[in-house]
Amino acid sequence: MRNDALSVQSMDFAVSIIQLVKELKQNRETIISNQIGRSGTSIGANIREAQYAHGRADFIAKMQIALKEANETGYWLELLFRTGYLSQEAYQKLEADCSNLRIMLISSINTAKKNST
């Protein structure tokens, strides 16, 4: 298990997304639940892959994919909120967690880019 903040937060977020998917499927919502399940858990998977990258460019590419997945997850969260599948409280919590991941990913990517020149 990794203990760095980004790994921990992305794992915690993935657990929250899996719990959300379970709830959505109990309410017979499958289209968005499948999408958010893939994108929300992919963030941490790409961060984990980046930790064993084949050089700085590969690291940056994997982190950028994680950022794209986080952005996509934010879209699905908003859609779930707007369609009444998520309460405002649940949406705000998950969106804040997702936003924090995006901020951390952007910071990591920018740092890696600065250190590669």
**Is the pLDDT confidence value at 1 over 60?**
no
Model pLDDT for residues 64-78, shown as the tens digit of each residue: 999 999 999 999 999
Model pLDDT for residues 35-59, shown as the tens digit of each residue: 999 999 999 999 999 999 999 999 9
Domain annotation for the chain: domains and CATH numbers: 5-115 (1.20.1440.60)
Summary mean pLDDT of the chain: 95
pLDDT of residue 117: 62
- pTM of the prediction? 0.93
Alpha-carbon separation of residue 12 from 15, 19, 44, 53, 83 (angstroms): 5, 11, 9, 22, 25
